[in-house]
């Protein structure tokens, strides 16, 4: 049996190397791979060695980076593209809509659900085929349903990318087959994934291990290509990917207790590497990071600054004592390692001259909180009261005092 598997694997590699086949996920080749046991650890407390080319781990609550490796490098993204395809479909159509499969969708290459020309399928079932089975045919069918064509859908994809602030991302296709103008970064992909996961329909689809859909009038059960889903505590999504240009890709979301993270692994040479990198990074984060309330650090340092400011600010044409306050942060909890708590420091930048024509509510500076050299958060310093202009009586009295 092992000899047969090896022969099948060699045959599949030969076909891949000497044909024009291209993939946007793992299904066709992974079904023949015989992996050894992964070298992973649940108790890892030191930053693990990683072998994938581009990686990021972000905390969803604060969007702070917990681990990064060439996370801003533009690279191919394979079927992780379908994260954007799926969320756009959810936002722009009804899941009950019926889609008629075109010749273009039915004939697309790579991993497919097996759509047949002229068959009808609900958009809901298409999205399960898109995200679980990673069907390139589903991606094209979705694009044509939403925008009329793949080309028009790519315009919609790039418009959404711009709205989300994805500065180093460009979409050409809805499935992610290799194209030099189709790229993203690990960081941009993490931000996109965080946005998509805020949609409950998207979250439900990508967290599904198995689903039964209606396919050509008959029920069909499909399984998720995400190898961590159901096999690692807390993992609830989201998408795999593979092309020769992108390598092995995996975007994972994981939540344990109140710490919710996204792990993006791109450019792994093998599925084993992407799985091991993702697995070890997830366990490393949960073994070493905890939420720390940073409000006391910020407030204490701000009070020290106010004491200093009392004898150092300059008032122009006013004698009103300025009242300064910090603008409230949306969040005062940040994931930190235990040893990082002692590395917290603040830098305060303000103007030191205030005038009667500085209106109440004006920003006069900012307080920045750093974890070592990394900016953790920033908040504005606000003038909280009106500075009254000195009256003629003030100047008259001052002249009299000078005469004496």
Q: Residue 240's domain is classified under what CATH number?
A: 3.40.710.10
pLDDT at 4 over 60: no
pLDDT at 21 over 70: no
Tell me the pairing of strands 54-59 and 65-69.
antiparallel
Q: Of the residues 226, 258, 288, which one is the last residue of a structural domain?
A: 288
Domain presence at residue 1: no
pLDDT at 154 over 90: yes
How far is Cα 371 from Cα 269, in angstroms, rounded to an integer? Answer: 33
Domain presence at residue 2: no
Angle at 316 between CA 310 and CA 318, to 5 degrees: 80
Query: For residue 199, how many other CB atoms are within 10 A of its CB?
Result: 14
Domain presence at residue 6: no
For range 226-230, the mean pLDDT? 95
Are both 347 and 265 inside the same structural domain?
no
* Lateral strand order in the sheet of 374-383: 324-326, 374-383, 363-371, 344-350
Query: For residue 125, how many other CB atoms are within 10 A of its CB?
Result: 21
Domain presence at residue 396: no
**pLDDT at residue 292, as a whole number:** 93
Domain presence at residue 370: yes
Q: Of the residues 288, 310, 341, which one is the last residue of a structural domain?
A: 288
> What is the span of the domain harbouring residue 41?
23-288
pLDDT at 352 over 90: no
CATH label of the domain that carries residue 318 = 2.60.410
pLDDT at 90 over 80: yes
Indicate the angle between helix axes 123-131 and 82-92, nearest 10 degrees: 160
Are both 96 and 114 inside the same structural domain?
yes
Are both 257 and 339 inside the same structural domain?
no
**pLDDT at residue 13, as a whole number:** 45
Closest CA to 325 of 366, 354, 357: 366
pLDDT digits (tens, 9 = 90+) for 170-191: 999 999 999 999 999 999 999 9
For range 133-160, the mean pLDDT? 98
Strands (E) across 200-270 are located at 210-215, 218-223, 235-243, 247-256, 259-268
Which one-letter DSSP state was computed for residue 342? Answer: G
Which residues participate in catalysis according to the annotation?
79, 82, 134
Contact 266, 73 (CB under 8 A): no
pLDDT band for 113, please (50, 70, 90 cuts): very high
**pLDDT at residue 392, as a whole number:** 65
* Total count of domains within the chain: 2
**pLDDT at residue 273, as a whole number:** 96
For range 219-245, the mean pLDDT? 96
Are both 178 and 282 inside the same structural domain?
yes
| Cα–chain center distance at 98 | 31
CA atoms within 13 A on the CB side of 124: 10
**pLDDT at residue 150, as a whole number:** 98
Task: Tell me the pLDDT of the chain averaged across its residues.
Answer: 89
pLDDT digits (tens, 9 = 90+) for 285-321: 999 999 999 999 999 999 999 988 888 888 888 888 8
For range 271-283, the mean pLDDT? 96
The pTM assigned to this predicted structure is: 0.86
CA torsion sign, 295 to 297 to 300 to 301? negative
Domain presence at residue 113: yes
Are both 224 and 324 inside the same structural domain?
no
Contact 133, 208 (CB under 8 A): no
**pLDDT at residue 15, as a whole number:** 43
Are both 169 and 54 inside the same structural domain?
yes
Are both 40 and 84 inside the same structural domain?
yes
Domain presence at residue 401: no
Are both 253 and 152 inside the same structural domain?
yes
Domain presence at residue 306: yes
Q: Of the residues 256, 288, 320, which one is the last residue of a structural domain?
A: 288
Closest CA to 289 of 259, 251, 332: 259
Are both 32 and 133 inside the same structural domain?
yes
How far is Cα 229 from Cα 223, in angstroms, rounded to an integer? Answer: 11
pLDDT band for 17, please (50, 70, 90 cuts): very low
For range 62-83, the mean pLDDT? 97
pLDDT band for 394, please (50, 70, 90 cuts): low
Are both 222 and 158 inside the same structural domain?
yes
Contact 126, 144 (CB under 8 A): no
pLDDT at 126 over 90: yes
Specify the 3-state DSSP secondary structure of 347: strand
Percent of the chain with pLDDT over 70: 87
For range 43-47, the mean pLDDT? 83
Tokens of 275: 């799985």
**pLDDT at residue 398, as a whole number:** 66
Query: For residue 92, how many other CB atoms are within 10 A of its CB?
Result: 14
Are both 347 and 275 inside the same structural domain?
no
Are both 238 and 132 inside the same structural domain?
yes
């Amino acid at each position: 049996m092992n000899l047969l598997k090896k022969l099948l694997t060699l045959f599949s590699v030969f076909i891949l190397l000497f044909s024009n086949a291209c993939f946007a996920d793992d299904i066709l080749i992974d079904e023949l791979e015989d992996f050894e046991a992964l070298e992973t650890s649940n108790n890892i407390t030191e930053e693990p060695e990683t072998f994938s080319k581009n990686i990021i781990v972000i905390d969803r609550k604060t969007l702070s980076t917990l681990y990064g490796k060439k996370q801003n490098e533009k690279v191919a993204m394979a079927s992780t593209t379908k994260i954007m395809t799926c969320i756009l479909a959810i936002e722009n159509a009804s899941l009950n809509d019926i889609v008629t499969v075109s010749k273009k969708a039915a004939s697309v290459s790579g991993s497919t659900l097996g759509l047949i020309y002229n068959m009808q399928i609900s958009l809901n079932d298409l999205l399960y085929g898109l995200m679980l089975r990673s069907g390139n045919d589903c991606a094209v069918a979705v694009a044509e349903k939403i925008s009329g064509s793949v080309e028009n859908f790519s315009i919609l994809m790039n418009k959404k990318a711009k709205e989300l602030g994805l500065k180093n991302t460009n979409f050409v296709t809805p499935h992610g087959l290799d194209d030099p103008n189709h790229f993203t970064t690990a960081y941009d992909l993490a931000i996109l994934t965080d946005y998509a996961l805020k949609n409950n329909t998207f979250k439900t689809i990508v967290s599904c291990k198995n689903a039964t859909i209606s396919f050509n009038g008959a029920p069909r059960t499909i399984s998720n290509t995400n190898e961590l889903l159901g096999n690692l505590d807390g993992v609830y999504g989201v998408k795999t990917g593979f092309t020769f240009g992108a390598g092995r890709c995996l975007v994972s979301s994981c939540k344990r207790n109140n710490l919710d993270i996204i792990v993006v692994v791109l450019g792994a040479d093998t599925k084993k590497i992407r799985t091991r990198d993702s697995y070890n990074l997830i366990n490393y984060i949960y073994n070493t990071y905890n939420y720390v309330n940073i409000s006391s650090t910020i407030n204490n340092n701000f009070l020290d600054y106010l004491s200093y400011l009392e004898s150092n600010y300059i008032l122009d044409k006013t004698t009103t004592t300025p009242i300064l306050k910090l603008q409230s942060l949306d969040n005062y909890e940040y994931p930190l390692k235990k040893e990082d708590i002692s590395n917290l420091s603040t830098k305060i930048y303000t103007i030191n001259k205030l005038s009667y024509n500085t209106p109440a509510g004006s920003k006069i500076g900012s307080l920045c909180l750093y974890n070592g050299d990394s900016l953790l958060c920033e908040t504005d310093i606000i003038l909280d009261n009106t500075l009254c202009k000195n009256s003629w009586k003030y100047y008259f009295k001052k002249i009299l005092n000078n005469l004496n």
